[in-house]
Structure 1
Amino acid sequence: MKIKNYILVFAALLLTVTVFAQQGKQNKADTLFNKFSFVKAAEVYKELIAKDYNKDYATRKLADCYALLRDPKNASKYYKKAVEQDNVPIEYYYSYAQSLRGIKNYKESEKWLQRYKDSGGVVNNNDFSKDANFITNVFNAKQQYFLDKFDFNSEYSDFGAYEHDGKIYFCSTRDAGVAIKRLYGWNEQPFLDVYVTEKDSKEEVDHTKKLQGDINTIFHDGPVTITKDGKYMYFSRNNFKDNVENKDDKGLTNMKIYRATFRDSIWTDVEDLSINSDKFSTQHAALNSDDTKLYFASDRPGGFGGSDIYVVDISADGVLGEPKNLGNVVNTNGAEGFPFINNEGTLFFSSDGHVGLGLLDVFATVNNENDIIIDVINLGTPVNSNKDDFSFTMSTSGTAGYFASNRAGGKGDDDIYAYNRIPPLKVEGVVSDAINGNPIANSTIKLYDEKGGQIAYMETDDKGYYSINIDRNQDYKIVGSHEKYIEDYRTFTSKNIKTELTTITANLLLNPVEDVVTLAELNTIYFDFDKFNIRPDAAQELDKIVDLMVNQYPDMVIRIESHTDSRGSLSYNDKLSIDRANSTYEYLISHGVAPERITAHEGFGERRLTNGCDGSEDCEEQAHQLNRRTQFIVIKME
């Protein structure tokens, strides 16, 4: 009986996956952009444009990069291309107008400002004074942050929220539940203490949630930051020793940064640091991503103003180096404080010396390709207001965090606000063979907008996977194709989806065209017991391979693998399988297949049985027959 076997293995198609690499580049560029690494992001977006990959999207993001780098000449160049796109978000009219003003092309700027207004955009006239800082206005034109509810505020002062290992640490003057409160003469509120609560807790935060150990004292304590391994905490505290305040020459008690160790489930072993002094304040500790640098604020001599941001190296044994002032790009003759460093090395801080919306505003730094700070950006609303906005922190993902403000509408004096940034949205899926379900590598993916315009192009990876970043509130069509398959498509929408949704799945199934079906159904050939000659039924199948390789696929390359059943000795079966591989090889060569198109013809004896007939039980002859075979592995199709 003729037994068919549909297990021809398409094992190692050696085709490049160049466009998949472009998708990886886009993900990299978006990550860099979201982490404020605009110089590096711009370089990757330019590479994507050169490769014509998701070009419209990359052009818009590249224009934003140049705007945020205070480069109106290049920003206007790419905003001009962006505003010519179909369905471009209207804020790009505004951004283009601002970039034109940045190069003093006022007439053209007014034209695009009017178009922005006509499209429903709202403009603050102060944004367009002739000498306005176009970069800040462009940044503020796009809402980057969205406020979330924070459940742990009190009627007093709360700030310094910092998330670590699922817990939120923050400072508060609440002292709730304590019968006798010590009041701070400055504002007649209790002194600051550090509180900790589970992020998702619904319990009230009172005196029972004060941080356990030696952190909290009878004076001001906090805010805090913790090393990634959870072993050490750096925190601010009034300068005092043995419960006695140490005052400077003016009779003031300054702030210091202390370090504590987590031991036996509490914070203890508090140590004074070498960067401190009785003569000036050192406070607001922040650590970089690998805990090798400590950032802080200080009013020590030699600064630019009331207080400046400094950085100091931390050696492996915890010893601190010499503090370094971050310079006058960050520091002003006003007050800078509350530094925070995200995972990409971007510094966030509060200042009343840079141009802002009110009193203290939160700013972010912009670094060049050498990681040198070249500018600062106001984060805009809703992070900043016309009041004090400070103690900004961010999650490791860069999409959520906290800050504090004394703006109107809060619960107490200073309140903590949680925020989120709308995450990027992508469509992803797998392109598979509709007959056997196998993934199709290097299939072409094209993305179209609701008007039929192509807006993205890529190829699937070796697992048939693709992923493309898309805009929200749009209708799309995704099409998958391959030269050996019939194309398939899906329509989908990103309208009215939840903010937290980051992925839309669109899998595609491609039906093979006729010649691929023929190849897929090619039979394995079989041999008689203890024989290696080519049987007539095997010759028919070998003739199919000859036809495929000589007439249909002149570049096709294969490998031959032959096997035996389990009867006979191991060494005998090894030789018999090699003889079967040789006879198969010689048949193909004698019928016109070039030898170089068969990379190997090998025998594996009884080592790769297709069933359980390994000699441990009796098997029918038909079962043994399945093991006496030669298979053909396709190495290259074209």
Structure 2
Amino acid sequence: MKLKNYILTCIILLLCFTASAQYGSQKKADNLFNKFSFVSAAEVYHNLIEKDFNADYATRQLADSYAYMRNPDSAVVYYQKAVQQNNIPIEYYYNYAQALRGVKDYKQSRVWLRRFKDAGGVVKKDKYLKDSDFITSIFNAKQQYFLADVNFNSKYSDFGAFEQNGIIYFASSKDVGVSTKHIYGWNEEPFLDIYTVQNRTDSIINHKSKIKGDINSIYHDGPLTITKDGKTMYFSRNDFNKNVLGKDDEGMTHLKIYKASLVDGEWKNVEELSFNSNSYSTGHPALNSDDTKLYFTSDRSGGYGGSDIYYVDINNDGSLGEPQNLGSVVNTDKNEMFPFVNSENALFFSSDGHAGLGLLDIFGTVSDANNNMISVLNLGVPVNSSKDDFSFFMNDDGLSGFFASNRDGGVGGDDIYAYDRIPQLKIEGTITDANTNAPVPNAVVTLLDSNDNKIADLQTDENGHFEINIDRDTDYKLNTKKDNYIDDSRMVTTKGVENSVTSINADFVLNPVVEKELPITELYPIYFDFNKYDIRRESTAELDRIVDLMMNKYPNMVIKIESHTDSRGTYAYNNKLSKERANATYKYLIANGVDASRITEYDGFGERKLTNDCDGTINCNEDQHQLNRRTQFIVVKME
């Protein structure tokens, strides 16, 4: 292989790897964002912006990340950048207004809120009036969660859904299919037992669906959590073990947390945890992502009031540390309960002490770079309602899960509701050769907005495949380009796409250029002065020659225009300057009679395609820099 070809191959492979890595970074950032890991997501979005990969999208996500981290100063900076983008969703006008409120710039906040209304936005009555709650206003600017059917609810109480390895566990007082029912005097319903189903559409639930082993007793059992290896369960139960019902000095029976082991498909070896007490309740267990901490609810003394959320460390030998109160960011003088920790260690819980929509509402926590909880977010409708909403669970994908509520319209007292979050939408496709149907690798796919502003460049892989994340309710344009093929383009819209759809397909079939001996050996480049894009007088001779060739000698000739800069100036400025040079060249040819349809493209490449080594790492004289300040003309076809 010749050295030149070897170098070219290496460059192409490097570009493919870089594009793939950056796309992978965006997917990672979006996953972190969906799971409330906003600090980690922000770091990746910053990196994407620096590499100018989907920078507009990353800027929007970064602004939201800072808002949710309760950092209005940084949020304002990036919302300001976002609202300057073309075709920005109008919700960002609203978000910008709320962030401005967070920094107490009420005058500008009103300006952007008015702009949001003028663009067709509807401002709902703000239930979060304090400046400190601006993040919840932003989070709920658009609906985050959408409800899905659950068929296994009963006319009694059902809650505490927990899913692992294809099995859904939940607590229920539906004691159907048995002749003897133990009734709880408080609500005249059977005591809670733990049941299992295979999926949320299962509807035939009876005593055979109860969890196997020694978990269920004649009193309340559930909810539960299970370690990642599936071998250990922690669950709530009335103070009842070894057929003995415990009571405090006043004759009251409290909740305790127990653990059990999976033995031959059944849960056995039930034992009480060390921090329980006969004098107060301890329940609602939840594990963190690596099973090293156990979170729970307790009304023990020394808290902030009502019931609080605590955690204990789980040591390597299985022993437990001392209970630690989560502090005033989470706990209030009222009731906090039903903790859940997702795969990124974001805590969710229910509370009637934080600003909410009704009684118990579900909240998520936001942490800083040191994993300190700094704020809480009300998850909004439809997760929360005017009634009690609790026992939140999120699957590892961050896009689906369950919660419970006693809201109107349910089947029984407490019902389990499934939710889905709108998944990230992507556009993907395959580029193939029109003659051979073979994939076309290393083709360049450019994603543009409806005003032809470039959003990102992609390259197809060895299978001719490309994909990229896009926004919903937006119009796009895709351009494809590959040497020795005729360029192609199409419009794509995501307007009207269902929320359940995660991918839009856009395949391309490219026609190869028919290689013929061209009667023109070369169209010569023209050159520009430093930091300028106006056409030099001496360049008009070549431009006029091209006009004459296209209009008189070769009336079917089609060209494209590529403009460049030297390496001096910033990367972004050089991109802009080269586009202005391409535009000036294009306008000259059109003004002198060339039909616009015969110029397939006029674009700028900044300093990306230098003709020499003057990339800033060596000293170059002016003549050497001059060779890079150019516009080139490429013949696309002759007939």
Q: TM-score, normalised by structure 1?
A: 0.75
Q: Check the 8 A contact 1:155/1:411 in 2, yes or no.
A: yes
Partner of 2:143: 143
Amino acid at match of 1:322: E
Q: Name the counterpart of 1:224.
A: 224
Per-residue CA distance 1:278-306 (angstroms, 9 max, x = gap): 22222111122232322211222332222
For residues 368-405 of structure 1, give each alpha carbon's deviation from its aligned partner in whole angstroms, at most 9, with x where no partner exists.
12222222111111111121110000112111110011
* Residues 1:343 and 2:343 aligned together: yes
Which residue identity lines up with residue 471 of structure 1 in the other structure?
D
Residue-by-residue CA offset, 1:193-220 (whole Å, 9 max, x unaligned): 1111221554422333222221111111
Cα deviation code 1:57-80 (max 9, x no counterpart): 111111111111112222122222
Match of 1:186 in 2: 186
Q: What's the offset of the Cα at 1:329?
A: 1.6
Cα pair distance change 1:76/1:350, threshold 3 Å: same
Residue matched to 1:23: 23
Output aligned runs, 1:434-583, within 5 Å: 442-461=442-461, 464-483=464-483, 485-510=485-510
Within-5 A mapping of 1:298-313: 298-313=298-313
Give secondary structure in 1 for the equivalent of 2:19.
Answer: helix
Do the aligned partners of 2:31 and 2:398 also contact (CA within 8 Å) in 1?
no
Task: Give 1:488 deviation, angstroms.
Answer: 2.9
3-state secondary structure, aligned to 1:397: coil
In 2: Cα distance, 1:317 partner to 1:167 partner: 28
Gapped regions of structure 2 (runs ≥ 5): 519-639
Partner residue, 1:120: 120
Comparing 428-437 with 143-152, which one deviates more in the overlay?
428-437
Give the 5 Å matches for 1:626-637.
none
AA matched with 1:278: N
Deviation at residue 130 of structure 1 after TM alignment: 6.2
Letter of the 1:365 partner, please give it. Answer: T
1:376 partner amino acid:
V
Where in structure 2 are the equivalents of 1:250-269 lying within 5 Å?
250-269=250-269
**1:35, CA displacement in angstroms?**
0.9
TM-aligned CA deviation for residue 447 of structure 1: 0.7
* Per-residue deviation, residues 158-185 of structure 1 (Å, max 9, x unmatched): 1101112222211112212334432222
Matched, 1:324 2:328: no
Q: Which structure 2 residues correspond to residues 78-227 of structure 1 after superposition, within 5 A?
A: 78-127=78-127, 129=129, 131=131, 133-199=133-199, 202-227=202-227
Give the distance between the partners of 1:516 and 1:444, measured in 2 at CA: 24
What secondary structure is seen at the aligned counterpart in 2 of 1:133? helix
- Considering only aligned residues, what root-mean-square deviation do their CA atoms show, in Å? 2.6
Give the conservation status (yes or no) of the 8 Å contact 1:23–1:458: no
Higher Cα Rg: structure 1 or 2? Answer: 1
2:9 to 13, 24, 34: 13
Q: Which amino acid aligns with 1:360?
A: L
Contact preservation (8 Å) 2:362, 2:390:
yes
Given that residues 235 and 285 in structure 2 are in contact (C-alpha distance below 8 angstroms), is that contact kept between their aligned partners in structure 1? yes
Unaligned residue ranges in structure 1 (runs of 5+): 1-8, 519-638
* Residue of structure 1 in register with 2:281 after alignment: 281
The answer (yes or no) to whether the contact 2:128–2:136 under 8 Å persists in 1 is no
CA distance in 1, matches of 2:7, 2:207: 65
Aligned to 2:240: 240
Q: Greater CA deviation, 316-325 or 284-293? A: 316-325
Distance (Å, rounded) in 2 between the aligned partners of 1:365 and 1:304: 18
Amino acid across the alignment from 2:248: D
Q: Which residue of 1 aligns with 2:614?
A: none
Q: Aligned partner of 1:302: which letter?
A: G
Q: Is the 8 A contact 2:427 2:470 kept in 1?
A: yes
* Equivalent AA in structure 2 for residue 239 of structure 1: D
- Once residues 428 and 464 of structure 2 are traced to their aligned partners in structure 1, the CA distance between those partners, rounded to angstroms, is 11
| Whole-angstrom distance in 2 between the partners of 1:230 and 1:445 | 45
Mapped partners of 1:126, 1:164: distance in 2: 37
Equivalence for 1:571: none
1:370 aligns with 2:370: yes
Alpha-carbon separation, structure 2, partners of 1:12 and 1:311: 57
Asked if the contact 1:395/1:401 (under 8 Å) is kept, the reply is yes
SS of 1:141 mapped into structure 2 = coil
Secondary structure of the 1:257 match is strand
- What is the aligned partner in structure 2 of residue 425 from structure 1? 425
The one-character-per-residue Cα deviations of 1:425-454 (angstroms, maximum 9, x if unpaired) are 111234455566665554432112233332
Cα distance in 1 between the residues matched to 2:200 and 2:127: 40
SS of 2:111 mapped into structure 1: helix
CA contact (8 A) 1:158 1:170 kept: yes
Partner of 1:558: none
Q: Return the alpha-carbon distance in structure 2 between the equivalents of residues 90 and 120 of structure 1.
A: 8
CA apart distance, 1:421? 0.6
1:600 maps to: none
SS, match of residue 107 in structure 2: helix
Q: How many residues align?
A: 510
- Report the AA paired with residue 373 of structure 2: I
Identity %, equivalent residues? 58
- Give me the whole-angstrom Cα distance separating, in 2, the residues matched to 1:336 and 1:127: 20
Q: Secondary structure at the match of 1:147?
A: strand
- Are positions 1:272 and 2:268 aligned together? no
CA deviations on 1:531-559 (whole Å, 9 max, x unpaired) are xxxxxxxxxxxxxxxxxxxxxxxxxxxxx
State whether residues 39 and 65 of structure 2, in contact with CA within 8 Å, keep that contact through their aligned partners in structure 1: yes
* Aligned residue identity for 2:217: T
The aligned amino acid for 1:112 is: W
Q: State the Cα deviation string for residues 337-394 of structure 1 (Å, max 9, x = none).
A: 1111111111111112222111111111111122222221111111111211100001
Task: Determine if contact 2:282/2:299 at 8 Å carries over to the other structure.
Answer: yes
| Letter paired with 2:227 | T
Cα distance, 1:34 vs structure 2? 0.7
**Which moved further from structure 2: 297-306 or 89-98?**
297-306
2: distance between equivalents of 1:60 and 1:80? 10
Structure 1 residues 125 and 89, CA gap change in structure 2 (3 angstroms): same
The structural deviation recorded for 1:511 is 5.2
Distance 2:130 2:310 in 1: 35
CA distance in 2, matches of 1:228, 1:125: 42
Following superposition, the deviation at residue 189 of structure 1 comes to 1.9
Q: Is the 8 A contact 1:490 1:508 kept in 2?
A: no
Change in 2 beyond 3 A, CA 1:132/1:71: closer
Work out whether residues 282 and 298 of structure 1, in 8 Å CA contact, stay in contact via their aligned partners in 2: yes
Aligned-pair CA distance for 1:336: 1.3
Closer, same or farther: CA 65–200 of 1 in aligned 2, 3 Å: closer
Higher relative contact order structure (alpha carbons within 8 Å, sequence separation ≥ 6): 1
The answer to whether the 8 Å contact 1:308/1:335 transfers is yes
Give the CA deviation at 1:317: 4.0
- Residue-by-residue CA offset, 1:497-541 (whole Å, 9 max, x unaligned): 3332212232345556678999xxxxxxxxxxxxxxxxxxxxxxx
Q: State the SS of the aligned residue for 2:9.
A: coil
The residue that corresponds to 2:554 in the other structure is: none
TM-score by length of 2: 0.75
Matches of 1:290 and 1:357, distance apart in 2: 33
Question: Quick check: 2:152–2:201 contact (8 Å CA) kept in 1?
Answer: no
Distance between the aligned counterparts of 2:232 and 2:207, measured in 1?
23
